[in-house]
Amino acid sequence: MRKALLNCSPVELITMATGRRGAAAVADAHKLVTKVGLKKLSDAGTAEIQSVCKGMTDESVTRLMAGVEIGLRIAELKSEYESTTRISSPAAAIQFCLHQFGRMARESQQEEFWVVTLNTKNVPIDCHQVTVGTLRNSLVHPREVFRPAIRDAANSIIVVHNHPSGDPTPSDQDISVTRRLEETAEVVGIPVLDHIVVGADKAISIQEWRSGNRS
């Protein structure tokens, strides 16, 4: 569902949020985008919206503003969490990845491989999707992993991928990919702090996994 919504235009999203259908609803949504703008929509009152869109009832406006408010609160919580998170241990990496990628792990039917870029204080800069694979594997090229890290001027990175089966136990391929990226990291000069595998309701640090299997 989320991937389908990502492909929707602002006009389509506004139309769905209001619960209206038809050409008049699309026309009103277009007016909101062009005359009010998405950035100012959250500050617009019922009277202003209805002055632009004559066909919108109080109920339609309430539905729209409820959707806007949910989006704003999610963005605020996400920003607050990410701006204060320092990933200085496998436990912290797992906690961050469960927060950031938990929904993907529960809903995605394919493996997705992501890179989290970190600054000098180990605080996340950004998250970048690298590949979307198949149910069985995800082909990861070091070039694609380190490109966003270099672009973000990252001090280090964490790589993350999900197991659609729900079981985050690292596979032999997961370990192999990790080693390959670590070898590249030595050349590039941007360390791979960890590789987190996210399952349906838990995650595993490959760094910890390897340490445990060696003991």
Residue, of 30 and 188, whose pLDDT is higher:
188
Q: Of the candidates 201, 114, 140, which has an alpha carbon nearest to the alpha carbon of residue 165?
A: 201
Q: How confident is the model at residue 8 (pLDDT cuts 50, 70, 90)?
A: low
Q: Check residue 118 and give its pLDDT.
A: 94
- In sign, the C-alpha dihedral spanning 155, 90, 181, 145 is negative
Quote the mean pLDDT of the chain. 83
Residue 157 forms beta bridges with which residues?
A: 117, 192
- Alpha-helical runs (H) found in 108-160: 142-151
Q: How confident is the model at residue 148 (pLDDT cuts 50, 70, 90)?
A: very high
Q: Of the candidates 190, 215, 192, which has an alpha carbon nearest to the alpha carbon of residue 205?
A: 192
What structural domains does the chain harbor? 2-82 (1.10.150), 85-214 (3.40.140.10)
Encode pLDDT of 75-131 as tens digits: 655 555 555 678 989 999 998 998 888 877 777 888 899 999 999 999 998 889 898
Q: What is the mean pLDDT of residues 6-21?
A: 76
In angstroms, the Cα distances linking 136 to 83, 106, 109, 189 are: 34, 16, 10, 31
Q: What is the mean pLDDT of residues 132-147?
A: 75
Q: Check residue 136 and give its pLDDT.
A: 47
User: Does the pTM of the predicted model rise above 0.85?
Assistant: no
